[in-house]
A and B are shown apart, each in its own frame.
Chain A
Amino acid sequence: MNQPVVVHNLRKTFYDEGRGEIKAVDSVNFECREGEIFGLLGANGAGKTTTLRMLSTILAPTSGSATIMGHDVVRSPEGVRKNLGFYSATTALYPRLTTRETIDFFARINQYPADLVKQRVDYLIDRFGLAKYADARVEKLSSGMKQKVSIARTIAHNPSILIFDEPTVGLDVLNALDVQETISDLRAEGKTIIFSTNIMS
């Protein structure tokens, strides 16, 4: 049986005017099983983010292949994105949308069944304790609240695969623990999670 995530000989090279060709990712191979948290651990510049960006179809691989729920990242990028939630410390929210509008938008654009969107939005608002801030603009929220909205928008369309790229960077200890707890809960729900970090302690 095919695993949810299959990466085979994945390579990525960039061209830099000063440094010439740079190998960012060189022949990476791995597979992730359903309900598993798969960790990518490495120092800064090791190629973790580039690998995850290829898996989320932001970047195209130079060579090799990767499939997410059977969809090839090059040939079927929309199929990949429909089954994937991508969360990164560098991804932000639209500041002028409210919490409810944000989750609603990401659920709809990621093709969650239209008749179930409202129910899903209400569920996520409740799950992350956002009811008090549901109609407040994201720009008015605290960092901790933004973090919760960000995770809620990542899973708005209930994807099978979740990518968390250094999700605790810049968070205080309590918020970082909160994120880790959420990730554990998602794993318990059967999600396949790819988690990257440079914290080696």
Chain B
Amino acid sequence: MNLKAIGILYWREIRSALRDRTIVTNSILLPIFLYPLIIWLVYTGLTFVSGQNEGLKSRIMLKDFPPMHETLKREFERDESVVLVTSSDPAADVRTGTLDALVEFVPAQSTPATTNNFTTRITYDESRDASSQARLRVAQKISRYRESYLELQAVKLGISRAQYQNFWIDDRKISSGRGVGALMAVMLPLFFIIMLAVGSMHPAIDSTAGERENSTWETMMTVATSRANILVAKYLYVATMAFTAAFLNLFAMIFSMGTILGPLFGSNLSLRIPLQSAPVVLIGALLLALFVAGGMMILASFARTYKEGQAMTSPFYIALIIPVMFLQTPGLEFTTRIALIPVANVMMMIREAFQGIYHWRPIGITLGVETACVILALRVAMFVIQHEDFILGSYNGSFGKFVKERFFR
């Protein structure tokens, strides 16, 4: 292994890559701008739609309103999001959509203790957003009124809140100290693996099939260094581009989520990633980048043209994404069994690390499995590149044909 030669070859690849529009777009610009842009568009759209709903006035009919609760009625009248209407057949009007909600005040079964009690019945159409929104507004308003009314009555009787309410809910949110929100933990690893694949795909094709298409393979094969050095340099270049794409995307996502989603979710979304997760995330990502780069290169190296290269690497791209889909299963834990599944194991490891959770046994197994995958990919690549018929572009651009010719002829 000649490090100096590898360095010269590596920088030539990088220099060429940074001048290629496709590679720069896919490995640098796309990770930085595309997904943050998508997130921004989606949430801007959601905010717009939700704003449209909020801007709608709810048409509500109050029926049999109890006179002793005039204050509540006045609140309804003052509310600009509500229009009080009357109807001869309110239930039918709710069904046809000319009325959003019918609010009926039904007296309770009369007993000495419940003389002034009543039930509020809300009739609405769940299939219509405007009607659901009206129901929500009414329910919130009546709940708030009920709370303050009871408290006022209790005070009049000289009873404190603690005395008239035996128990109540007191929320205490502790998730923010844990780091990233659940949404982030699911989304980031998914985008991470997509970006690794996208970031490595074009460099892998460019450095193998691209060389063949441009007729530079033969030129490269006559330089005064071993084929192993050429392979390692190309491999490191592809892995670098994959790693760069994934991390640029990660930072862009964290930044964009913080600035775009933060205000939308308010205090419900915590965006901090624990600093102590960095070593686990970095090592996992590095191993994954090396593995993905190896796989992409092996497949792309049989292609004779850029188009063939894309066709060869696409199934691998899909195969990478499928294990990550399992991560979307709610309640999935990072067990030793999952640690044995390449790609999915690293994703689980990163997902948990983002949440500040570390299962050290599965982490150890994951690192072992991924290292083995990287070594295997390198061994296969070394085996392939030693065959001169591969250098000449035989096998019609097919890895399958190479295997058939070599092992089953």
Contact = CB atoms under 8 A, between A and B. Distances in A.
A141 interface: no
B253 to A, nearest CB: 30
A164 interface: no
Given A81-B222, A86-B222, A91-B215, A58 B388 contact: yes
B15 A59 contact: no
A60 B9 CA distance: 23
Nearest to A153: B219
Interface stretch (A38-46, A105-113, A177-185): A105-113
A92 B216 contact: yes
Nearest to A84: B222
A57 interface: yes
A57 B227 CA distance: 11
Interface in A30-52: none
B103 to A, nearest CB: 71
Given A60-B388, A93-B216, A106 B223 contact: yes
B173 interface: no
Interface residues of B, number: 24
A47 B218 CA distance: 17
A28 interface: no
A96 B20 contact: yes
Contacts of A96: 15-16, 19-20
B219 A56 contact: no
Size bracket of the A interface: 20 to 34
B8 interface: yes
Interface in B363-409: 388-389, 391-392, 405
B47 interface: no
Contact of A94 (B16, B218, B222, B226): B16
Given A96-B16, A96-B19, A111-B224, A58 B8 contact: no
Main SS at interface, chain B: helix
B388 A78 contact: no
A26 interface: no
B116 interface: no
B388 to A, nearest CB: 5
B225 interface: yes
B119 to A, nearest CB: 77
A17 B226 CA distance: 30
Contacts of A137: 19
A162 B63 CA distance: 102
Given A60-B388, A97-B15, A88 B218 contact: yes
Interface string A133-156: 000010000000000000001000
B222 to A, nearest CB: 4
A91 B219 contact: yes
Interface string B1-21: 000010011001001100110
A93 B220 CA distance: 10
B15 A101 contact: yes
B101 to A, nearest CB: 66
Interface in B1-54: 5, 8-9, 12, 15-16, 19-20
Interface string B182-226: 000000000000000000000000000000001110110111111
A95 B214 contact: yes
A201 interface: no
A109 B9 contact: yes
A84 to B, nearest CB: 7
Nearest to A108: B8
Contacts of A88: 218
A92 B214 contact: yes
B8 A109 contact: yes
Interface of A: 14, 17, 56-60, 77-78, 81-82, 84, 86, 88, 90-97, 101, 105-106, 108-111, 137, 153, 157
22 contacts: A14-B389, A58-B221, A59-B392, A78-B226, A81-B222, A82-B224, A86-B219, A86-B222, A90-B215, A94-B12, A94-B216, A95-B214, A96-B16, A96-B19, A97-B12, A97-B16, A108-B8, A109-B8, A109-B12, A110-B224, A111-B224, A137-B19
